[in-house]
Amino acid sequence: MRFLNPYPKEVKGFLAASLVNSAGGSLMWPLTTMYVFDELGRSMQDAGLVILLQSAGGIAGQLLGGALYHRIGVKKLIVGSLLLNAMGLFSLPFIDGYWPMLLPVMLLIGLFSAMSMPAIQAFIGFRFADRRGELFNVVYVANNIGVAVGTALSGFLAEISYDVSFVGNGLTSAGFAFFFLSYLSRTDLKEPTLQEEAEGRPKLKRAVPPGSRGGAWVLLRNTRIYLFLGLGSLFMWFGNSIWNTGISPHIISEGMSKASFGYLWTLNGILIFAAQPLTSWIKRSFARRDTSQMSVSAVFYLLSYLVIVLTGSYPGFVLAMVLATLGEMLVSPAIPSFIAERAGKAAPFYIGVAGGMGSAGRVFGPYAMGILYDGGGLKPVAWLAAAMAVLSFLSFVIHARRVPGIETSSVRGE
């Protein structure tokens, strides 16, 4: 792909491995509910419990991964968490649906899978500091190409065997671990200093790595870096639950094909790659700063949900998906880029905290929207999503106002 030409070989290798890993990880996303409901013959309530446990493990994993980055080192954290995740996935065929064992194993899979996320994002920010804004976006695109490939393969593999999907996911996780083991052994990763950077960019506060002089509690008091950013992410992902807990059952209840819901996510995957010129123009024109990109993304999400409220039809869902995808493309790279740019050695901790807060929205959003959908259908769910987008926008605006005068463009070189 020509857009990778400006990057060195080590970046291309990292992106290729990341794409394969995300493809393997996405094999499991569409299948967990079907596995519990179809293969194991459990209720949808039980399927929801499994998703809840995985999500709760993901929250804990994000927080733990960020806190452990400097305590045990990047190599041990990334490689260890990926291998433990692979072991959990490999164990699923041997559990053979035994319910008392399945629940804790799925919790641990969610935990170990998420532990590596803040570490990998922080590694990108440290290793490629001069181009971190660009690379966060390129990695985001590569991961979503992997998600599109993995999701497409998941149905085919499920027809063969659910166990094949679990083992395939485990193999990609183990492969990514060994890639990182080799990659980090060859890489001389220079830790960022806690001094002011040479070009004079001011910091919010001196960052204190976890484990020194108060550790995590000291870092948590520095709320300007993460609090309203994390709240904005929480509200955003809470509202985004509308797709699985509002749009999906509405499509089925209206007699539309289940494939039509899949087409929306196919559109999402295509746009994440094809709409890069459009989001680059938005960043150059009126959202040059990371905080501006977060606020503009919330506006796109709000417009998406208002389209759903006003139309309630499939063409409206298509337009809503376009708008929501543009919002996702702006916010997903901006959050880790902002933290990596401002937090120095404490970046892994804050990336984990912000990621954990965002994951909390994914946990509670489906539950609240499920109750609303059962009581009144799609429209009250869409209004709730719109309200969450407004709260997300306000949180991001407050976050930007609390960090005045310290922004630099995250689209250097464009």
Segment 193-248, tens digit of pLDDT: 433 343 434 444 444 455 444 567 788 888 888 999 999 999 999 999 888 778 87
What pLDDT sits at residue 6? Answer: 63
Q: Which stretches in the chain have pLDDT values below 50?
A: 1, 3, 191-208, 211-213, 405-414
Say which CATH architecture domain 217-402 belongs to. Answer: Up-down Bundle (1.20)
> pLDDT digits over 302-360, tens only?
999 999 999 989 999 999 999 999 999 999 889 988 988 888 788 888 988 998 898 88
What pLDDT sits at residue 191? Answer: 47
Residue 204 token pair: 């919010």
Distance between CA atoms of residues 389 and 307, nearest Å: 13
What pLDDT sits at residue 67? Answer: 84
Q: Which CATH code for domain 9-192?
A: 1.20.1250.20
Contacts of 25 (CB under 8 A, 6+ apart): 113, 146, 147, 150, 169, 172, 173
Distance between CA atoms of residues 411 and 414, nearest Å: 6
Angle at 221 between CA 219 and CA 224, to 5 degrees: 95
Residue 359 token pair: 């994951």
Q: Which one, of 365, 363, 324, 330, lies nearest residue 239 by Cα?
A: 365
Please tell me the pTM assigned to this model: 0.76
Helix (H, G, I), strand (E, B) or coil at 408: coil
Distance between CA atoms of residues 393 and 291, nearest Å: 11
Residue 240 token pair: 């985004």
Residue 16 token pair: 């290729």
What pLDDT sits at residue 104? Answer: 93
How many residues are recorded in the chain? 414
Q: How many CB atoms lie within 10 A of CB 129?
A: 14
- If phi over 0 gives left and psi between -120 and 50 gives alpha, with beta otherwise, what is residue 199? alpha
Residue 4 token pair: 């990778």
Distance between CA atoms of residues 176 and 179, nearest Å: 5
What pLDDT sits at residue 200? Answer: 38
Determine the residue type at 212. Answer: S
Q: Which one, of 94, 88, 93, 78, lies nearest residue 110 by Cα?
A: 88
What pLDDT sits at residue 383? Answer: 96
User: In the chain, what are the domain boundaries?
Assistant: 9-192, 217-402
Q: Which one, of 84, 90, 92, lies nearest residue 176 by Cα?
A: 84
Contacts of 183 (CB under 8 A, 6+ apart): 10, 13, 14, 17
What proportions of the chain, in percent to the nearest 5, are helix, strand and coil?
A: 80, 0, 20
What pLDDT sits at residue 411? Answer: 35
Helix (H, G, I), strand (E, B) or coil at 395: helix
What pLDDT sits at residue 84? Answer: 94
In sequence order, the β-bridge partners of residue 289 are 409
Angle at 181 between CA 175 and CA 182, to 5 degrees: 95
What pLDDT sits at residue 314? Answer: 93
CB-CB contact of 151 with 26 (8 Å): yes
CB-CB contact of 49 with 100 (8 Å): no
State how far Cα 173 lies from the chain centre: 17
217-402: same fold as 9-192? yes
CB-CB contact of 142 with 19 (8 Å): yes
- DSSP structural state of residue 194: S
Q: How many CB atoms lie within 10 A of CB 100?
A: 7
Secondary element (H or E) of residue 410: none
Distance between CA atoms of residues 6 and 2, nearest Å: 8
